[in-house]
Amino acid sequence: MDDDVFNIQIRRFLKNVGVTSQREIESAVREALADGRLKGDEQLKVKVDLAIDELSLNKVIEGTIGLV
């Protein structure tokens, strides 16, 4: 295994995850604000499931996103 290549591949994947996740969250929040499901002062509980089947890796990452 080439550690440099491996590291670059992980970073590319995580960049894609980060950019895609941010877009999806922003879109969902704007939609929820527009239709009244959110007021705009909430603390949103967030959960991401990370899985790699070949490694039997399953990790849940939880956090909070505040709107104010």
Q: Domain extents for the chain?
A: 3-66
Contact 61, 50 (CB under 8 A): yes
User: Rounded to whole angstroms, how far apart are CA atoms 9 and 68?
Assistant: 34
Contact 58, 50 (CB under 8 A): yes
Q: Mind listing the pLDDT tens digit for each residue in 11-48? A: 999 999 999 999 999 999 999 999 999 999 999 999 99
CB within 8 Å of 51: residues ≥ 6 apart: 57, 58, 59
Average pLDDT over residues 58-62: 98
